[in-house]
Each structure stands twice: as structure tokens, then as C-alpha cells.
Structure 1
Amino acid sequence: MPLVWVTGTSGVGKSTVRAELRRRGFVAYDTDEDHLSRHFDRETGAEVLYPELAAQRTAEWFARHVQRVSPESVRRISAEVGDRLGFVCGSTENEDELWGEFAVVVHLSADPETIRRRLARRPPDAFGGTEEEVERILGWHAGSDAAYERFGARRVDATQPVGNVVDELLDACSAR
């Protein structure tokens, strides 16, 4: 069975989908919660720590740093999953380097109002917990549906209840 990349901007529900996939017995990873993503200085390539406080995550910080998931970590997960259906949920700036490691790419899509409402439930120092970060996320989100579709990702409406989202995700993977 394939390894599936479940992606989308912050606030579309990737972590919630990952929890539901696990509840249903699937192998599912989250690039943030399972520490698959790392941050690097764009100029030096040195790994840097992600700022815990929102006040430290300025526009300048994001301009200077890049979030990446190593293709090697995805290959390790693929080997672990073997013949089973497995999922990696997340987003990263080097997605283009990772897509070839996945049999299926699914883009979770939600409207800006839904994303804003979901982000409003986050603590202030969680990513998306400040108005500045919400605006940054909505800026990234603005062209995401068209971009993901242009690259062949299968779109799933993430505004539905999580059970329906996962059912549609499994249908997109022909796993139901």
C-alpha cells in the first residue's frame, strides 16, 4: 500500500486528521508533533531552534529561516510502513523534494473563515496564535488550492467533520 502525504496550510486540520487516522489503526505521522521537520538558516544552512514565543517569530525570522523535512526521514517511514497504508501529515517548504517519496498527495482545503476560527482556539504562543501569524498563514493559504491542484494533489474538503474528512481522504487513496 502507498505512503500518503497529507498537506495544507496551518489550520486546515492536519493534526486532527492524523489523530483520527491513528484512532482508526493507521500508521500516521505529523511533521511537527513527531519532530520530522527542522528549521535552518537560509544563508548558512545551520539548523536552528524554532522560537517557542510568538514574539520571537517575526517576519524577519521567517524570511531568514526555512522549515524542511528530510527525504531520508520519509524513506525511513516508508520502510517502516512496508505494505501497509501509511500517512505523513504536515507542510514544509521543501515539499517539492518530498512528493516523489509518496504514492499519493492529498491537500486538505478549508476556507479562510474556517482557518481563522480554528487558529483562534490555539494558545497565544502556538503557531497561529497571534493575529500577525494568522495573517501570515492566510497569505500562504491564498493560492494554495490552485497550486496544489496544479501539481496534481487530490483535494479534500477539510471543513467537514473529521470523520468525513478521513473517509474522503481514504477514498482518495482507494483504501475503503
Structure 2
Amino acid sequence: MGVRNYLIEGVSGAGKTTVAEELERRGCHVIHGDRALAYLGDPKTGGALEPPMPGGVTDIARWRHARWIWNVDEVERLAADRSSAQSFFCGGARNHRHFIHLFDEVFVLDIDADTLSRRLAARAEDEFGGRPAERRLIARLHATQEDLPKTAVNIDATAPIARVVDEILSRCGAAGERRCSSRPPLMTSSRF
């Protein structure tokens, strides 16, 4: 949706939603990927999947996380729309390798393990990362960085949110310095 498109990634709890909300507050065009683009699917084919029956998978948190993907056709469509000067796609997807080439820059929000632990401890049980098994999975993913894009600009997301967003916008160059057009965010589905 932008002449320039940016992806903001990070482990669950790194601050993607908070960054998205601050970008929106500043008038930037934001796509909440985990709400508008995500579903449970096969990361290779994109085919939608039904959640397993209770007891059918020993580690449901890991199963769901591994299949949390974005609709590639929709990402391509949104990235091709040039009605905004810049668009920020915020969220995480296991199939990012299928669309990462569409972004002018990729940012990964980086936090330390203690900050991650504190943020996850504050989550409600019905939010991903709110249950002990989910927190253990996220801690492992944080340690290994296995799900994150390999070629990205790391942003210290332990700083106050205003500084985090200032850093992202400064790295967007001249496009980041201009005020973005304010269009309503895309939000349709909830996180798992």
C-alpha cells in the first residue's frame, strides 16, 4: 500500500503491536499483519489448515506457531498499491520468505530475555504468550532467532516506544521523515 513498504518483525512480545499503534498515532499507514493477513496454514503451500483436535498434537502452541502464516497474495496486492507514501506491515509470519522481497526494508524488534519475560508475564491467558507452554516456546524462539528474517535491521525495542519508532522512521530515510497519510488500519482477525 505504499510507494515504500516496510516489514516490522520480532518474537511475540517484542512490541510489534505497540510499534504499529505508535506509527498509526503519528499518521502512518499500518497493516496489522497478525490481524488482517494471518491464518493457520501450510507455510510451503499456503493452504489453510484446521486446528488439530484436542489431544491430537502434544504441543499445540508449537503446532500453531509453526503454521501462523500470512496470505501471500494479499501481501503482494497491498504492497503493489501505491496510494500511500509508505506502509508498515507489522507482525510475524512463518512464511515471510515468500514475500520478504516485497519490502524496501525489514526491521526486527530486539529485546533482552528479562524484558521478554516481563512482557509475557503481563499477558492475559487468552493472548498468545499468556500460557506457560507458549512462554517457554517464545523464550526458545527468542534465544534461537530461528523464525526471524536473517537480513534485517535490528531495532532496540527496550527503549521507550517513541524512541523505537523514531529509530525506525529515521532508517526509512526521507520517506520516514515525511508525515504518512492517515488511513484506517486493516484489522480483521484476532491472534491465536
TM-score, normalised with respect to structure 2: 0.77
User: Following superposition of structure 1 onto structure 2, how do residues 133-172 of structure 1 map, counting pairs within 5 Å?
Assistant: 133-144=134-145, 148=149, 151-172=150-171
The equivalent of 1:59 in structure 2 is 59
Question: Partners in 1 of 2:34 and 2:89 — Cα distance?
Answer: 10
Residue 106 of structure 1 is matched in structure 2 by 107
2:79 counterpart letter in structure 1: S
Contact 2:18–2:161, Cα closer than 8 Å, also in 1: yes
- In the superposition, relative to structure 1, how do residues 71 and 120 fare at CA in structure 2: closer, same or farther (>3 Å)? same
2: CA distance between counterparts of 1:152 and 1:44?
23
The 1:83–1:157 alpha-carbon spacing in structure 2 relative to 1, beyond 3 Å, is: same
Deviations 1:80-124 (A, max 9, x none): 453511100011111111211111100100011111111111111
Residue 172 of structure 1 aligns with an amino acid whose one-letter code is R
Inter-partner Cα distance in structure 2 for 1:132 and 1:41: 22
Q: 1:50 to 1:77 in 2, by over 3 A?
A: farther
What letter matches 2:153 in structure 1? R
Name the CA distance, whole Å, in 1 between partners of 2:172 and 2:123. Answer: 30
TM superposition shift of 1:142 = 0.8
In structure 2, what residue type is equivalent to 1:66? R
Deviation at 1:158, TM superposition (A): 0.3
Q: What is the RMSD computed on CA atoms of the aligned residues? A: 2.9
How many pairs align?
170
Separation of aligned partners in 2, 1:3 and 1:30: 13
Moved more, 114-123 or 10-19: 114-123
- TM-score, normalised to structure 1, is 0.84
Quote the Cα distance in structure 2 between the aligned partners of 1:120 and 1:57: 25
Rounded to whole Å, the distance in 2 between the matches of 1:3 and 1:127 is: 27
Return 5+ residue gaps in structure 2 as ranges: 178-192
Distance 1:50 1:5, change over 3 A: farther
Q: Percent identical across equivalent pairs?
A: 33
Contact 1:12 1:158 survives alignment (8 Å): yes
Higher relative contact order at CA 8 Å, sep ≥6: structure 1 or structure 2?
2
CA distance in 2, matches of 1:152, 1:141: 16
Conservation of the 8 A alpha-carbon contact between 2:61 and 2:134? no
Q: Distance in 2 between matches of 1:86 and 1:42?
A: 24
- Which 5+ residue runs of structure 1 have no aligned equivalent? none
Q: Does 1:27 align with 2:29?
A: yes
Distance 1:57 1:86, change over 3 A: farther
Structure with higher helix content: 1
Letter in 2 for 1:5: L
